[in-house]
């Protein structure tokens, strides 16, 4: 009889823990929803098909240091 009582208590404790976790997840998702609702809109991309190349604007060049590996 004590084994069944302990089993039911374990299930009750597990259910309580799961409900607590569900409340935390619910609060977190509500906060994310609120942040997404108040977030400013993202800037629009150009619609004319132009490609933005930021690499051409950089003033420094890349340099490979060390020896190159020989290929067989």
Quick: pLDDT tens for 4-49.
999 999 999 999 999 999 999 999 999 999 988 887 777 766 666 6
Q: Cα–Cα distance between 58 and 44 in angstroms, integer?
A: 23
For the segment 50-71, what is each residue's pLDDT rounded down to a tens digit? 666 665 555 555 555 666 666 6
Contacts of 44 (CB under 8 A, 6+ apart): none
- Cα 69 versus chain centre, distance: 38
Q: Can you tell me the distance from the alpha carbon of 72 to that of 70, in angstroms, rounded to the nearest whole number?
A: 7
């Amino acid at each position: 009889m004590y084994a069944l009582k302990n089993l039911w208590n374990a299930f009750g404790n597990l259910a309580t823990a799961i409900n607590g976790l569900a409340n935390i997840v619910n609060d977190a998702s509500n906060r994310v929803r609120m942040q997404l609702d108040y977030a400013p809109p993202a800037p629009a991309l150009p619609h004319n098909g132009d490609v933005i190349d930021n690499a051409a604007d950089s003033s420094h060049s890349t340099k490979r240091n060390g020896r190159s590996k020989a290929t067989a």
